Amino acid sequence: MRSKGVIHEDTEILVPFFDVDTMHVVWHGHYVKYLEVARCALLDKLGHNYTHMLDSGYAWPVIDLQLRYVRGAVFGQRINVRASLVEWENRLKIDYLITDIATGERLTRASTVQVAVDVNTREMQLACPKVFVEAVERALS
């Protein structure tokens, strides 16, 4: 069972023509792009986006990505991508739910896990940097 995120952000996307394949559905690889758009919106909401992360001395590579497709999105469809913060103390885990805006129908579920890596030493951190945890705590208060 998925954990309910402590904070979330919804992002609306209008599926563009260049994202669909010959079967007229969104090519599976483009969903990763949609997740990234929603993740950036969530990080902006937290007040600690990728620019802040890098300025604080850390890169945050995705080390795990999981997608479960239920129904393909199609050209011109308005979809909502909800990014929900699930974990932030030892790693950054975000769950996603992609739904059709008109019907609310679930299209895709996903999750990503990211870890902090010191940009100077390239060493993976075993806990999230204090500056990130504090940003999350500010957003929650």
**Secondary structure letter of residue 17 according to DSSP:** G
Span 59-88, pLDDT tens digits: 999 999 999 999 999 999 999 999 999 999
Secondary structure percentages of the chain, helix, strand, coil, to 5:
25, 40, 35
Residue 2 resides in a domain = no
Q: Which two tokens stand for residue 116?
A: 């902090």
Q: Does pTM surpass 0.75?
A: yes
Residue 127 belongs to some domain of the structure: yes
Whether 41 maps to a domain, the answer reads yes
**Could you give the number of structural domains in the chain?**
1
Structural domain contains residue 129: yes
Rounded CA separation 79/116 (Å):
30
Q: Does any domain span residue 109?
A: yes
The residues near 74 (Cβ < 8 Å, ≥ 6 apart) are 15, 20, 24, 25, 26
Structural domain containing residue 99: 7-140
User: What token pair was written down for 62?
Assistant: 């995705």
Per residue in 92-118, pLDDT (tens digit) is: 999 999 999 999 999 999 999 999 999
